[in-house]
Amino acid sequence: MIDAVPTYYKDIEVGTKHQYLSYKKPGDKYGKYYVKCNELVKRPDGTICHCAMEEMREDHFKKWIQNKRHICTPGEVASQQTIDQYYQNVPATGLTPISLGDIYEQLATFTGRFNLALNTFSSPEFTKLVKTIIMYTADSMILKFPQLHNVNINVDKLASQIYQPISTDKLRQTMIQIANSIHVAKVDEFAKLACTCVAIDEGKTQQFHNLDFSLTNPLQSKRSYPVESIQMNGGTSEDYIHSLTQGFNRIFIRDVKISSVVCDGNKAQLKCFQKGWNQSFYNSNDPRLFKILFIPCLCHRIHNCYQYMTTKDVALGAIVKHIHEISALCRIHVEDIGALCPKHVSTRWIYDYNICMFIIKYQDKISRYTRIDIENIKFLRDCLAILKKLISTFESDKTKISDCYVWLCKGIEALQYLSSSNNNPFAGILSRS
């Protein structure tokens, strides 16, 4: 840290006034200030910790704190030693000894962070490099200090004694241990909260169909954390209830209190939270399950509404089909146009906005190959811009469900304005969806 200064934001912070640390980062060419909480927090067991708030850029933090409330939660354990205890534990040299295990942990962390091959640091080439550095250091020390000139030191043998290369198996084992410790620490942060929302999403590969679980809490300045991934056996409600229960139990075992879940809301998923099905969570005897509040993903709802209305309104369906056909044609003539047109994505219909923008930008070149209804494409673009803004807002894990209703009302009003003031032929039907 550079220019670190304790500071308060009494004029803009709501509720309890906390002390923060304002500082610059070394090497930041823009000289931006960053902020993190400087308070100490006591855990239930009495352990004193630093606040778990993640650092934020100061200008972003000032905007955030005006509408949000910071709540301190225990994070990294602070030193519990007195000054006397500290000096009693320091070795006579005054330096903290570094073990070979510490080096192995750094190698494992470096391997994972930069996605290196497991055999990189166990290779003979790397071992030779490390020993060369040790030999260079030893030679430099001998030349610098006269009292070492008459000491017979075999630097090659010294290097071999100091550093023992890590095996691939040992590196893999160390990486797993570090990953597990990070995972436990992250989940424990959410276990300290009064309530946690679980976001659930499906993912498919060629071989697997998974249900992914992420922990989130928009009231806290924490990033969402992907906590579990459960393999699905099928797409029925029975399959979902089995996989959801398995995922919830793995979260419960870490004492995380699940208050709500956000799902895409397909019929099989939705059935798991409705009282009409006797196997649903609503009819469960487990109070941790039947109290969970189901929240449909508003992003999926907007995608689905737009897609649904293209099948119900002839004019809207025609212009959407028109841009999809132009997109496919542009991807064939990409070299002539000089840019690659976005492709329609059947699971993310709002990406049609990008197709509209591309067609408008390159309309002169595209018109060589096909007719373009540019006026209606611009009308569609204006509608999709509103839907796209809503989705980007709802995708943020900092957006509170209480604010979503207001945003939806504003989006509907904006579409109604386009319909009444700009005679947009698609805005009215989309506002009623």
Give the model confidence (pLDDT) of 208-265 as tens digits.
Answer: 788 999 998 877 777 889 999 888 888 899 999 999 999 999 999 889 999 999 888 7
Which residues make beta-bridge pairs with 155? none
For residues 32 and 57, give the distance between their C-alpha atoms in angstroms, rounded to a whole number.
7
Residue 53 lies in a domain: yes
pLDDT, residue 180, reads 86
Residue 21 lies in a domain: yes
For residues 318 and 376, give the distance between their C-alpha atoms in angstroms, rounded to a whole number.
10
Shared domain check, 418 and 311: yes
Contact 260, 294 (CB under 8 A): yes
For residues 48 and 73, give the distance between their C-alpha atoms in angstroms, rounded to a whole number.
11
Shared domain check, 355 and 278: no
Summarize pLDDT for 156-208 with one digit per residue, the tens. 888 888 888 999 999 999 998 888 888 888 899 999 998 999 999 887 776 77
Summarize pLDDT for 357-395 with one digit per residue, the tens. 999 999 999 999 899 999 999 999 999 999 999 999 888
Shared domain check, 355 and 253: no
Boundary-marking domain end, from 273, 296, 319: 296
Residue 320 lies in a domain: yes
Range of the structural domain that residue 21 is part of: 2-85
Name the nearest CA neighbour of 197 among 293, 325, 74: 293
pLDDT, residue 206, reads 67
For residues 151 and 158, give the distance between their C-alpha atoms in angstroms, rounded to a whole number.
13
Shared domain check, 402 and 365: yes
Summarize pLDDT for 43-100 with one digit per residue, the tens. 777 777 888 888 899 999 998 888 888 888 888 876 544 333 433 444 555 556 788 8
Q: What is the overall mean pLDDT for the chain?
A: 86
Shared domain check, 270 and 330: no
- pLDDT > 70: percent of the chain: 94
Residue predicted with more confidence, 428 or 26 = 428
Q: Give residue 84's Cα distance to chain centre.
A: 42
The pTM score is 0.59
Shared domain check, 149 and 79: no
Boundary-marking domain end, from 296, 319, 353: 296
Residue ranges of the alpha helices (H) in 210-256?
237-252
Phi, psi of 16 (to 5 degrees): -60, 135
Of 91-100, 317-326, 336-345, the least confident: 91-100
Q: Give residue 141's Cα distance to chain centre.
A: 47
Residue 181 lies in a domain: no
Is the predicted pLDDT of residue 118 greater than 60, yes or no? yes
Shared domain check, 251 and 212: yes
Residue 17 lies in a domain: yes
Q: How many domains does the chain have?
A: 4
Boundary-marking domain end, from 272, 296, 320: 296
pLDDT, residue 327, reads 94
